[in-house]
Amino acid sequence: MKTNMKQKKILRLLVSYCILAFMTIIIIYPLLWTVGASFNPGNSLISTSIIPSNPTLDHYKELFAGKESLQYANWYMNSLKISIFTMIGTVISVSFTAYAFSRFRFKGRKNALTVFLLLQMIPQFSALIALFVLAQLLGLMNSHWLLILLYIGGQIPMNTYLMKGYMDSIPMDLDESAKIDGASNTRIFWQILMPLSRPMIAVVAMNGFTGPLGDFVLSSTILRTPESYTLPIGLYNLVNEVMGASYTTFAAGAILISIPIAIIFILLQKNFVSGLTAGGTKG
């Protein structure tokens, strides 16, 4: 009997590992192919392989060659600027909004949460015409700051639900104990809830940073000149207009996008699983 149970357990583990291995291959293979393509000579992906036979750095050099029609470094800095300010603005706005919905009861609270839920269901592209007209009326076409505000606004509904759900799991007893000791709502927010919410803050920050880096539709609607382009627009034009479908150079440019994402993830990863009890004791 024990032998049969042990065999079933081994079989379940084997099946689980096989599924995990299969999913890992599905996820990793396109990434490895893109890395290999970025080091392959030529412009076509058809002749590329995962392990290049004659690897070269020419495609990476082309990105920073300083050609007037290829402003990759400028596009890169524009994307970083927009992503960093979007991340900061998203974390600040979502933290305050989630705190209000989690800890206070006010008129219209349920209706506001319902509106947030509905906003999550509306696809971004459905509001492009309205956003385009708004940008023209405000005279903010081709403005990075308008794009940042739009990204922050788009991040608020979903991330507020995530942050509110997390703050709801933090006992109200901590707030009441702090109030007995004379702490204000502001102090409770900064010294108790925010330290305890670090894992969710890390998730919100990651969402706020990666969203603009991968967006093409909204940025291409607002940004009109090559000097203001972000990486998605610049790389799209790279393979369609500038370099005549140079997909291997496109692969090199796409790989470099992952560097800031990897850095942000490394800086925030410890907060994904820790910080659950930070700030929970009285000082």
Q: Is the pLDDT of residue 220 over 70?
A: yes
What fold, for 67-273? MetI-like fold (1.10.3720)
Cβ neighbours, 10 Å, residue 228: 19
CA distance 79 to 229: 8
End-to-end alpha carbon distance in the chain: 56
Instruction: Give the largest CA-CA distance in the chain.
Output: 77
Angle at 147 between CA 267 and CA 211, to 5 degrees: 35
Whether 196 and 279 have beta carbons less than 8 Å apart is answered as yes
What pLDDT was estimated at residue 278?
37
CA distance 156 to 148: 12
The overall pTM is greater than 0.85: no
Element (H, E) at 238: none
Contacts of 3 (CB under 8 A, 6+ apart): none
Locate the domains of the chain by residue range.
Answer: 2-56, 67-273
Q: Of the spans 73-82, 131-140, 161-170, which averages the highest pLDDT? A: 73-82
Q: What pLDDT digit, counting tens, does each position of 105-125 carry?
A: 888 888 888 887 787 777 777
Task: Output 265-271 pairs: Cβ under 8 A, ≥24 positions apart.
Answer: 265/206, 268/202, 268/205, 268/206, 269/202, 271/198, 271/199, 271/201, 271/202
Comparing 128 with 240, the larger pLDDT belongs to 128
